[in-house]
């Protein structure tokens, strides 16, 4: 692939070195006791590049970035800024050297305004110690205008959507003159549309000379935006890749073995409809209808995927089925038995397998052993218990076979479940729920925070459960996952069912439906290209280049812009 | 970076690094405990739960010394050392010798050593073994006294520990002991039944009394969401003043007596003394051992205990797994009350043989400390109960022999809890932070130092 930035990065002119920054990690090793999180990692981030660190969860990407950001001291190795070794003793040092970081979980004070948040830690004061926010406000406006951020400096952070909050984090870094921006899994919390907007912003920042270290395991985004890809596996750099490489090749490199990304899924053979939801309404304690008059049914041997942006009633819907919600109206029939008003235990015992969306909070007890977590909903049933007497031997025996069957990577079933990686935790939850005869299987966000290798495995298990003739309901905010698994797709918006569409429905139409536009309108809207549709389409056609005639025209930036604009067009060609 | 910091940085390069390892480990334990901050931490340390934490210390020796239970032992040791210094500070000879500290420092140091050791030797002689006694029977009398005092501490401590495991902060052992004492005592002096049956009924009455008093708290918590700490504190007051009221009514007051004291319990209603009438040690201690075994079984081998532990460690996951959290709350408080009730029975039917308003002494509150020191595990609580029994029994002897105030023992007890609450502090003081690494190679630290100021 093209490497257009090397010339500009190697310019030795002192005045340019102030503007741009070359970052090098040399032989970084970070040990936590016996665990080797980073093993002699070498990474060079050239100026004005989007450098992607690709790796599974737990591969050591975040550790490496925390070393770079001064949060951890490396056991070995050194960091070089513009070929000079430096040592960061805290984020303050890193910031002073021009490195900014946007964490996966934002570090913002919700009740402060944007300006206050940006000023925090570097407040300028007027005479008498009064806070001078004017300066900060002006800078925010400036940056916001330059990149089209559309951020109001006086808005309260808690009122802003997640995507805008993320921009505030980016502004925070830019105000402090960050030349290298580290984005740690930035798209995990975003809707598909917001993700595309973020990728645009990244391209703009790049053409303005800011380098970006982009940490991700989502291949589509990585391919869309990166200049260079460094793949990390088990704490080691396993090689570099080109954005042009195939998704399968990237995934295989990341996981260390051949990965089949396209799910081998036979067409559904739906049998009789055994799960029926009619006019289901869930009322929150504040009187709000979180689920509003939903009706749908699922046949045996069919996967219904529920799509929607997070917080549109998905959680409440699953909780209502499980019996966790207090005020539920309507009817939920499983095999013609009413589930509304039954206890959780009754619902589970009637054959419902449930994978909650937040496994560490609702699905597992972190301090309990893996073995005990594997019987969390069956501890009182034979063979694990006779009367009230439990058999630890049987519990452990069960754990051994489940750990083998689901390939949970752990030395022992006696280990605390909280010490497992996200993917392995999810496997434990799945193993528990799928290891008994089911009449209905509900999985909420079945692969959130799970690495590619595990996703493949978990998806296969879900499809296998369908093929056994179980009705399956998947709730996911990841459109890719929905499209991958679904036989039919139901879209939720503000607690209402926007529609149920067949599996082949396009990403753009689904994206619009997730914004509340009914299918028919979505399809036609798409044709006439409304504002939103244009953005959605942008996701589909990522080959659209960033306009080279952006409004930033400072001298150095313009030069940078020229350097980047030419390859930009060809990057995705 | 200021210049004067640099040489320091060279010398102690390894030090901040070690600290950060300890901090990271603490953070890792906290992450497991709270699911990365998503749920509130449990009162029970993560290391006392069923799941093992990996990456433990590498050598056997280190394993023994950094094991979670050892923190309790070290906390006791540390508290004893600080207590010793306190004793020395109040000692007259230490005060005199400090006057010429610089002339003859050895005098001062030996005075400090003597004051502390004399007191602790007295404490030991008063609680375990008195070599000056005439004959074995007298020599072991202190140990018997220790076990007697430990009995109510152990059972009440088990009650508090069990509630901890279910995520409930049970402050109510005091009230539960009192209610059990009232019922047990009444059955003991008001009813006149044959041998065996009478004692059994006393025991059952006490256990039921405690269970009801505790279970009521559980019921209110489960049904109304009232906080158990407030409930149990108030229930303690209610129980105490109810007892004082009763002791002034004809039904409870000893005939011909104006003091608030009940009739003596029937001989058929009291615990038999295990080693004969020369010691106060009674059947209650055997029952305390049985209760410890029972609680261990309940927690680790029964479905009920599994529910308790699940609710305590992560109530949301327990709810999602179909566990009835309300039922667990009521049940665990009832069982905790029943265990505290056994302490009440041990007091009225074993040690005191009458009912006064001091029936519970401060056992109900000390039980909280005992449960904490025992890390909410049954055998840990048992051991902690024995230790506190020894402190109590020995404190008297210590005051008689050396004039050291009994209060010093209470200070030591409080210090123990203080250190228990901060395990990293204890580990740091004893230099036992696990997974400590060798300092980085000299060349590296040199390099870090020379480049340290670059940023």
pLDDT in tens, A218-241: 788 888 999 999 998 888 898 888
| pTM for the model | 0.75
Average pLDDT over every residue of A247-272: 80
Per-residue pLDDT, averaged over A536-545, amounts to 42
Q: Which of A97, A345, A366 comes nearest B32 by C-beta?
A: A366
Locate B235 and state its tokens.
Answer: 């229930």
With bands split at pLDDT 50, 70 and 90, how would you rate the model's confidence at A261? Answer: low
* Triad B389, B157, B306: Cα angle to 5°: 145
Contact list in B for residue A88 (CB cut-off 8 A) is 455
Whether A96 and B34 lie within 8 Å, measured CB to CB: no
Distance of CA B395 to the CA centre of its chain: 17
Q: Is B134 on the interface with A (CB under 8 A)?
A: no
Strands A228-233 and A236-241, how do they pair? Answer: antiparallel
Judged by a CB distance cut-off of 8 A, whether residue B274 touches chain A is: no
Q: Is the CB of residue A100 less than 8 Å from the CB of residue A181?
A: yes
Q: Cα separation of B231 and A443, whole Å?
A: 40
Q: What percent of chain A has pLDDT over 90?
A: 29
Could you tell me the end-to-end alpha-carbon distance of chain B, in angstroms, rounded to an integer? 8
Residue-averaged pLDDT of chain A:
81
Whether A285 and chain B come into contact, CB under 8 Å, resolves to no
More confident residue, A176 or B421: A176
Q: Which residue has the tokens 């930009």?
A: A568
pLDDT at A516 over 90: no
Across the interface, of B20, B52, B322, the residue whose CB is closest to A369 is: B52
What Rg do the C-alpha atoms of chain A give, in angstroms?
A: 25
Instruction: Name the strand (E) or helix (H) holding B180.
Output: helix B173-190
- The per-residue pLDDT for B409 is 85
User: What pLDDT score was predicted for residue A501?
Assistant: 93
Is the predicted pLDDT of residue A331 greater than 90, yes or no? Answer: yes
Query: Which of these ranges, B76-80, B90-94, B221-225, B388-392, has the smallest mean pLDDT?
Result: B90-94
pLDDT tier for residue B26 given thresholds of 50, 70 and 90: low
Nearest residue to B200 via CA among B152, B272, B262:
B272
Determine the Cα–Cα distance for residues A442 and A437; give it in Å rounded to an integer.
13
Any CB–CB contact under 8 A between A365 and chain B?
yes
- The side-by-side arrangement of strands in the sheet containing A35-45 is A35-45, A23-32, A76-81, A84-86
Cis bond upstream, residue A383 (ω within 30)? yes
> Which of A303-312, A532-541, B160-169 is the least confident region?
A532-541
Indicate where chain A has its CATH 3.40.50.300 domain(s): 1-98+177-255+543-573, 273-370+420-531
Is the model's pLDDT at A121 over the cut of 80? no
More confident residue, B327 or B99: B327
Phi-psi region of A509 (alpha: psi -120 to 50; beta: other; left: phi over 0): alpha
Task: Return the residue in A81, A366, A393 with the most chain B beta carbons within 10 A, the one to mutate for interface testing.
Answer: A366
Quick one: which of B187, B183, B210 has its CA closest to B198?
B187
* Beta pairing partners, A102: A183
pLDDT the model gives residue A542: 40
Query: Is domain A1-98+177-255+543-573 annotated with CATH 3.40.50.300?
Result: yes
Strand pairing category for A472-475 and A303-307: parallel
In Å, what is the CA distance from A377 to each residue of A372, A461, B41?
10, 20, 22
Contact A335, A355 (CB under 8 A): no
Residue environment code for A182-214, b if the CB has 16+ CB neighbours within 10 A, otherwise e? bbbbbbebbbbbbbbbbbbbbbbbbbbbbbbbb
The DSSP secondary-structure symbol of A249 reads H
The beta-strand segments (E) located in A158-263 are: 180-184, 211-216, 228-233, 236-241
Distances (CA, A) of B85 to B281, B418, B421, B431: 33, 17, 21, 21
Between the CA of residue B442 and those of A550, B1, B449, what are the distances in Å? Answer: 51, 21, 11
- Predicted pLDDT of residue B31: 67
Phi first, then psi: what are they for B408, rounded to 5°? -60, -35
Predicted pLDDT at B29: 66
Confidence of residue B439 (pLDDT cuts 50, 70, 90): very low
Three-class SS state of A186: coil
B407 to chain A, closest Cα gap in Å: 38
**What value does the CA radius of gyration of chain B take, rounded to a whole number of Å?**
26
Size of interface A-B (CB pairs under 8 A): 169
On the question of pLDDT at A563 being above 70, the answer is no
Q: How confident is the model at residue A13 (pLDDT cuts 50, 70, 90)?
A: very low
Ranking A541-550, B71-80, B356-365 by mean pLDDT, the lowest is: A541-550
Q: Residue B24's pLDDT band (boundaries 50, 70, 90)? A: low
Residue of higher predicted confidence among A38 and A217: A38
CB contact under 8 A, A84 and B49: no
Buried (b) or exposed (e) across A314-327, using 16+ Cβ within 10 A? bbbbbbbbbbbbee
A362/B32 Cβ within 8 A:
no
Tokens of B424: 């990293």
**A27 close contact with B: CB closer than 8 A:** no
Across the interface, whether the CB atoms of A365 and B319 are under 8 A apart is answered no
Give the span between the Cα atoms of B317 and B139, in whole angstroms.
Answer: 54
Does residue A535 surpass a pLDDT of 50? Answer: no
Cα gap A155→B199, rounded to integer Å: 73
A333: left (phi over 0), alpha (psi -120 to 50) or beta: beta
Helices B407-420 and B378-402 pack at an angle, to 10 degrees, of 150
Q: Does B12 touch chain A (CB under 8 A)?
A: no
Q: Give just the sign of the alpha carbon dihedral A213, A216, A221, A222.
A: positive
The Cβ-side half-sphere exposure at B440, using a 13 Å CA radius, reads 25
Structure tokens belonging to residue A105: 């979980």
Using DSSP's 3-state secondary structure scheme, residue B309 falls into helix
**Of A16 and A80, more confident:** A80
pLDDT digits (tens, 9 = 90+) for A456-510: 889 999 999 999 999 999 998 778 888 889 999 999 988 999 999 998 888 888 8
What pLDDT is attached to residue B433?
A: 58
Q: What is the CATH number of domain A273-370+420-531?
A: 3.40.50.300
Residue A250 has a pLDDT of 85
- Using alpha carbons, list the distances in angstroms from residue A230 to A54, A140, A181, A242, A571: 6, 32, 16, 9, 17
Whole-angstrom CA distances from A245 to A123, A241, A544 are 45, 7, 18
Does residue A310 surpass a pLDDT of 80? no
Mean pLDDT of A234-258: 84
> Roughly what angle, to the nearest 10 degrees, separates helices B173-190 and B141-165?
120
Contact B455 A354 (CB under 8 A): no
Nearest by Cα to B376 from B177, B93, B169: B169
More confident residue, B338 or A542: B338
pLDDT (0 to 100) of residue B432:
64
A297 dihedral zone (left: phi>0; alpha: psi -120 to 50; beta):
beta
- Cα distance from A27 to chain B (closest Cα, Å)? 12
Model pLDDT for residues B289-313, shown as the tens digit of each residue: 999 999 999 999 999 999 999 999 9
Interatomic CA distance for residues A42 and A563, integer angstroms: 26
Per DSSP, A351 falls in state T
Contacts with B301 from chain A: Cβ below 8 Å: 389-390, 392
* CA–CA distances in Å: residue A202 to residues A33, A225, B157: 36, 8, 60
Q: Which of A498-502, B102-106, B409-413 ranks highest by mean pLDDT?
A: A498-502
> With an 8 Å Cβ cutoff, are B33 and A418 in contact?
yes
pLDDT score for A349: 92
Residues 283-312 of B with CB under 8 A from A: 300-304, 306-307, 309-310
Which member of B28, B313, B444 has the closest CB to residue A367?
Answer: B313
DSSP-assigned beta bridge partners for residue A29:
A76
Confidence bin at B35 (pLDDT 50/70/90)? low
H/E element holding B420? helix B407-420
| All residues at 6 or more sequence positions from A113 whose CB lies less than 8 Å from its CB, including other chains | A153, A154, A155, A156, A157
pLDDT, tens digit, 9 for 90 and up, residues A93-105: 888 888 888 887 7
Residue A372 touches chain B, beta carbons under 8 Å: yes
Alpha helices in B374-406 (DSSP H): 378-402
B301 contacts A361? CB cut-off 8 A = no
Nearest-5° Cα angle at A523, A520 to A526:
140
Largest interatomic CA distance in chain A: 80
**What does the pLDDT average to over A347-376?**
91
B24 near A CB under 8 A:
yes
Are the C-beta atoms of residues B344 and B286 closer than 8 Å to each other? no
- Check whether A541 has a pLDDT greater than 60: no
Range of lowest pLDDT (A5-9, A141-145, A215-219)? A5-9
Instruction: Pick the more confident residue, B58 or A507.
Output: A507
Matching residue, tokens 């520990």: B161
Cα separation, A158 vs B410, whole angstroms: 49
State the SS3 of A384-446. Answer: CEECCEECHHHHHHHHHHHHHHCCCCCCCCCEEHHHCCHHHHHHHHHHHHHCCCCCEEEEECC
How far apart CA A367 and CA A214 sit, in angstroms, is 33
Measured from the Cβ of residue A272, the count of other Cβ atoms closer than 10 Å reads 10
pLDDT at A552 over 60: no
Phi, psi of B121 (to 5 degrees): -65, -40
d(CA A144, CA A166): 13
Would an 8 Å CB–CB cutoff place B46 in contact with chain A?
yes
Band the pLDDT of B443: cuts 50, 70, 90: very low
- Compute the distance between CA of residue B91 and CA of residue B81 in angstroms, rounded to an integer: 15
């Amino acid at each position: 692939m093209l490497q257009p930035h090397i010339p500009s990065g190697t310019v030795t002119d002192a005045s340019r070195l102030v503007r741009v920054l070359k970052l090098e990690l040399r032989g970084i090793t970070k040990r936590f006791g016996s665990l080797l999180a980073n093993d002699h990692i070498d990474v060079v981030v050239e100026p004005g590049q989007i450098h992607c660190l690709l790796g599974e969860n737990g591969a050591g990407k975040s550790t490496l970035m925390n070393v770079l950001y001064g949060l951890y001291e490396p056991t070995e190795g050194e960091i070089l800024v513009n070929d000079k070794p430096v040592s960061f003793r805290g984020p303050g040092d890193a910031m002073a050297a021009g490195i900014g970081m946007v964490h996966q979980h934002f570090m913002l004070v919700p009740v402060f305004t944007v300006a206050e948040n940006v000023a925090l830690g570097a407040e300028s004061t007027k005479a008498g110690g009064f806070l001078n926010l004017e300066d900060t406000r002006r800078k925010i406006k400036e940056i916001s205008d330059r990149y089209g951020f559309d951020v109001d400096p006086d808005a309260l952070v808690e009122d802003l959507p997640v995507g805008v909050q993320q921009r505030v984090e980016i502004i925070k870094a830019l105000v402090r003159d960050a030349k290298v921006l580290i984005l740690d899994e930035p798209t995990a919390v975003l809707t598909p549309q917001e993700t595309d907007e973020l990728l645009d912003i990244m391209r703009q920042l790049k053409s303005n000379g800011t380098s970006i270290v982009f940490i991700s395991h989502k291949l589509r985004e990585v391919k869309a935006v990166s200049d260079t890809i460094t793949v990390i596996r088990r704490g080691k750099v396993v090689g570099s890749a080109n954005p042009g490489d195939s998704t399968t090749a990237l995934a295989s490199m990341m996981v260390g073995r051949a990965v089949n990304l396209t799910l081998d899924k036979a067409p559904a053979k739906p049998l009789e409809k055994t799960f029926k939801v009619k006019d289901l309404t869930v009322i929150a304690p504040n009187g709000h209808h979180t689920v509003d008059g939903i009706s749908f049914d699922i046949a045996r041997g069919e996967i219904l995927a529920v799509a929607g942006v997070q917080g549109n009633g998905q959680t409440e819907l699953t909780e209502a089925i499980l019996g966790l919600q207090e005020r539920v109206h309507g009817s939920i029939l499983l095999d013609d038995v009413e589930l509304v008003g039954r206890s959780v235990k009754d619902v589970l015992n009637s054959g419902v397998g449930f994978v909650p969306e937040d496994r560490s909070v609702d699905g597992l007890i972190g301090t309990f052993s893996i073995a005990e977590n594997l019987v969390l909903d069956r501890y009182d049933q034979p063979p694990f218990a006779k009367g009230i007497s439990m058999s630890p031997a049987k519990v452990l025996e069960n754990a051994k076979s489940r750990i083998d069957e689901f390939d949970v990577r752990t030395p022992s079933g006696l280990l605390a479940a909280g010490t497992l990686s996200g993917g392995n935790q999810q496997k434990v939850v799945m193993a528990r729920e799928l290891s008994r005869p089911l009449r209905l299987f509900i999985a909420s966000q079945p692969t959130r925070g799970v690495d590619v290798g595990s996703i493949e495995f978990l998806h296969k298990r879900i499809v296998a459960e369908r093929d056994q003739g179980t009705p399956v309901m998947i709730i996911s905010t990841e459109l890719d996952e929905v499209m991958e698994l679904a036989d039919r797709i139901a879209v939720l918006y503000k607690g209402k069912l926007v529609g149920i569409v067949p599996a082949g429905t396009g990403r753009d139409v689904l994206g619009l439906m997730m914004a509340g536009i009914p299918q028919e309108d979505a399809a036609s809207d798409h044709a006439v290209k409304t504002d939103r549709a244009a953005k959605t389409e942008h996701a589909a056609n990522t080959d659209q280049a960033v306009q080279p005639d952006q409004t930033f025209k400072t001298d150095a930036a313009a030069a940078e812009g020229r350097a980047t604009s030419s390859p930009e067009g060809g990057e995705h060609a | 970076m200021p210049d004067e910091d640099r040489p320091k940085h060279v010398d102690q390069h390894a030090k901040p690094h070690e600290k950060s390892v300890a901090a990271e480990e603490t953070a890792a334990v906290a992450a497991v405990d709270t699911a990365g901050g998503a749920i509130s931490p449990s009162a029970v340390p993560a290391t006392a739960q069923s799941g093992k934490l990996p990456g433990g210390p590498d050598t056997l020796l280190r394993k023994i010394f950094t094991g979670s239970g050892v923190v309790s032992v070290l906390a006791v040791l540390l508290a004893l050392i600080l207590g010793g210094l306190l004793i020395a500070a109040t000692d007259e000879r230490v005060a005199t010798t400090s006057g010429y500290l610089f002339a003859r420092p050895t005098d001062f140091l030996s005075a400090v050593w003597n004051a502390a050791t004399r007191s602790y030797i007295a404490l030991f002689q008063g609680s375990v073994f008195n070599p000056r006694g005439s004959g074995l029977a007298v020599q072991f009398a202190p140990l018997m006294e220790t076990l007697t005092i430990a009995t109510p501490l152990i059972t009440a401590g088990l009650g508090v520990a069990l509630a901890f495991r279910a995520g409930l902060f049970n402050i109510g052992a005091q009230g539960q002991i009192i209610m059990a004492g009232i019922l047990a005592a009444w059955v003991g002096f008001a009813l006149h039944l044959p041998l065996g049956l009478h004692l059994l009924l006393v025991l059952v009455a006490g256990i039921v009394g405690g269970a009801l008093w505790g279970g009521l708290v559980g019921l209110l918590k489960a049904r109304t969401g009232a906080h158990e700490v407030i409930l149990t504190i108030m229930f303690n007051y209610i129980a105490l003043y109810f007892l004082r009221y009763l002791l002034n009514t004809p039904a409870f007051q000893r005939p011909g007596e104006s003091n608030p004291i009940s009739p003596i319990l029937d001989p058929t209603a009291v615990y038999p003394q295990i080693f004969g009438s020369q010691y106060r040690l009674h059947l209650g201690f055997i029952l305390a051992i049985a209760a410890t075994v029972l609680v261990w079984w309940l927690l680790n081998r029964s479905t009920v205990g599994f529910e308790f532990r699940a609710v305590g460690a992560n109530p949301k996951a327990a709810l999602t797994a179909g566990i009835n959290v309300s039922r667990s709350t009521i049940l665990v408080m009832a069982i905790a009350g029943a265990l505290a009730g056994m302490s009440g029975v041990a007091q009225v039917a074993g040690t005191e043989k009458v009912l006064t308003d001091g029936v519970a002494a401060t056992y109900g509150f000390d039980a909280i400390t005992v449960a904490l020191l025992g890390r909410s595990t049954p055998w840990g609580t048992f051991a902690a109960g024995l230790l506190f029994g020894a402190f109590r029994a020995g404190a008297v002897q210590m005051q008689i022999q050396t004039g050291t105030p009994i209060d010093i023992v209470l200070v030591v007890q409080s210090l123990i809890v203080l250190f228990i609450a901060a395990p990293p502090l204890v580990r740091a003081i004893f230099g036992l932070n696990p997974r400590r690494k060798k300092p980085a190679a000299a060349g590296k630290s040199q390099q870090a130092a020379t480049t340290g100021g670059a940023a």
